[in-house]
Amino acid sequence: MTNKIKSSNKLIDNKLADCRQTKTRRGVLLVLENSQPLAAPEILARLKENNVVVNKTTVYRELDFLLSKKVIAAVILKDGLKRYELQASEHGHHLICLQCQKIERVALDNDLDKQEKAITRSRGFKVLNHSLEFYGLCRHCVKK
C-alpha cells in the first residue's frame, strides 16, 4: 500500500493523484508548503532537519518533476538565485524585505493581462510569462 501525499492544498492532491508517492516528494512538498520560496540547497537542508535523508541529485530530480506537473513554480529574484514555491491557483508576485530577506507572495487586484496583450499588439512581442517583485522593508523591519 502506498502512502498518498495529503496536503492542505487540494490543487496539489489533484495534480499528483496518479503519481508515485515517494518519501522525498512528500518531504519537498511539506517543506515548500510551510515556507517562503526556497533554493534547492535550502530545501535539502530543511529535509535533513526533518530527518528525510536524500541526496542532492534526487532533490533536483524531484524539483524538475514537480515543475513539469505544475505543482511548484520557479522564482528567480534580483539575486539570480532560482527558488521554488508551491504553484498558487492565481498568478502572484513577491514582496522582498531587503533587511531580513523575508519573501512574501502577494496577489494584485490589477491583472497584468491587459498590458501583456497591449505589448503583443503594439510590439509583436508574445509574452509567455512575467515577474514582478517589490523590494523594501517588511512590517517587522520597519518597526526596528
Q: Which CATH number do you get for residue 131? A: 3.30.1490.190
Rounded to two decimals, the pTM is 0.70
| Between residues 90 and 22, the one the model is more confident about | 22
| Between residues 41 and 101, the one the model is more confident about | 41
Count of the separate structural domains present in the chain: 2
For residues 14 and 81, membership in a common domain is answered with yes
b or e along 78-106 (b: 16 or more beta carbons within 10 Å of the residue's beta carbon)?
A: eeeeebbbbbeeeebbbbbbeeeeebebe
Considering 71, 86, 101, which residue would you say is the last residue of a domain?
86
**Alpha helices (runs of H) in 17-126, residue ranges in sequence order:** 23-33, 40-49, 56-68, 113-123
For residues 72 and 112, membership in a common domain is answered with no
Residue span of the structural domain in which 123 resides? 93-143
Residue 40 has pLDDT above 90, yes or no: yes
82: its cell numbers: 532560482
CA pair distance 3, 120, nearest whole angstrom: 46
